[in-house]
Structure 1
Amino acid sequence: MKKDARYSCYPFMREKASTVDFEIRTDSLTTHIGVALAAVKKETVEVVADDLLAILPMAYHVNGSVRGKLAVTEDDLTWLSDRYDFYVSHVKDEIQNFVLPQGTGAATALHLCRSEAKKSYRVLHKVSEEREVPAILFDYLGLLANVFFVMAVYMNQYAGIAEIPFISKSYPMKKKKENQ
């Protein structure tokens, strides 16, 4: 009997290697970026929407760059770094502390993207224990998580929503001395 493709959601699903876990995780990342893009478009912040449209296919390029041909270049990394610098130039005062992931629908969707990028990075680490992984993929995913963070803060700033600092009870922070 011929196998019916309708019962297979992904051809590598039964592999033991972590590569498939990475591919599934980065597929989730890409899907979350699509959700964030829809939310950003509703809030009509064109610069963020344009950037997400550029990042969206890149997430799939990261996905395929382990099993297939490396599809992330130094130019891609430079572009992403430039976008990070752009957002930081607008939100540098708001990102001096840890903040709670809250705010507009777009900001919270971007915080989910940040979390998914970190999860993708972690699974990529697991893959690297099994096979060689190009260092640029780690750089790209780490930077991508940070870009999503500053984008989220930018979206809240655009909407006039203040960030809520997170004060950890687990990791005490050094207090600034008065009149330094």
Structure 2
Amino acid sequence: MKIYTRTGDNGETALFGGPRVRKDVLRVEAYGTADECNSAIGVVRAAGVDPALDAALAVVQNQLFVVGSDLAAPEESPYIPRVTAEMTAFLEAQIDAMEAELAPLKQFILPGGTAAAAYLHLARTICRRAERVVVSLAAEEAINPEIVPYLNRLSDFLFVAARVANARAGVADVPWQKP
């Protein structure tokens, strides 16, 4: 099977189940941005993080694949996994465990510190964009109501993970300096 099909050469793509849509519709933008976030997390993992954080990020990457497939399949299907409240609960448990290692945040921080932390902040901002696109999509079309809370919590997870990556590496967060 060839990787190219030429079916998208006219600016359309197929959603799961067959309907063709323009590549610039919100639904495609939403799952594409979730995929972009997933790729950024792949960069984090390739940059190197401790094994516990790497394991959590591996789960998140698989969950983000579920987000993308959920968004790419507007019709109910027994073949497509859907975002669940349990996925959001996983993120909350991870956040709680990581925050227990950290000193309370007393000021705003800038993305930076270690390379892994900087990449985690990049993934967080991509996640926030995905959330904004999904909110816009939800205003126009029916979507799984579990997706927005999941993305909201994921951005929190990525923020805390960036702080933990710095802390575990013995590197301080970069404080924002008011002008």
Pair in the same fold by TM > 0.5: yes
Aligned with residue 100 of structure 1, among 110, 114, 130 = 110
Structure 2 residue 58 is matched with structure 1 residue 53? yes
TM-score (norm 1): 0.81
Structure 2: unaligned runs, 5 residues or longer: 15-20, 74-79
CA distance in structure 2 between the partners assigned to 1:102 and 1:78 by the alignment: 27
CA distance in structure 2 between the partners assigned to 1:72 and 1:83 by the alignment: 17
Q: Aligned partner of 2:82: which letter? A: A
Given that 1:40 and 1:48 are in contact with CA atoms closer than 8 Å, whether structure 2 keeps it comes out as no
CA distance in structure 2 between the partners assigned to 1:80 and 1:66 by the alignment: 20
Name 2:70's counterpart in structure 1.
Answer: 65
Aligned with residue 74 of structure 1, among 80, 85, 88 = 85
Aligned with residue 125 of structure 1, among 101, 113, 135 = 135
Q: Aligned partner of 1:143: which letter? A: R
Structure 1: unaligned runs, 5 residues or longer: 170-180
Name 2:122's counterpart in structure 1.
Answer: 112
Aligned with residue 91 of structure 1, among 90, 95, 102 = 102
Q: Secondary structure at the match of 1:106?
A: helix
Name 1:156's counterpart in structure 2.
Answer: 166
Q: What CA RMSD, in Å, does the superposition of the two structures yield over aligned residues? A: 2.1
TM-score (norm 2): 0.81
Pick closer, same or farther for the CA change 1:15–1:46 going to 2, 3 Å: closer
Name 2:13's counterpart in structure 1.
Answer: 11
* Greater fraction strand: 2
Name 2:76's counterpart in structure 1.
Answer: none
From the CA coordinates, give the structure whose radius of gyration is larger.
1
Pick closer, same or farther for the CA change 1:16–1:148 going to 2, 3 Å: closer
Q: Secondary structure at the match of 1:90?
A: coil
* Alignment coverage as a number of residue pairs: 162
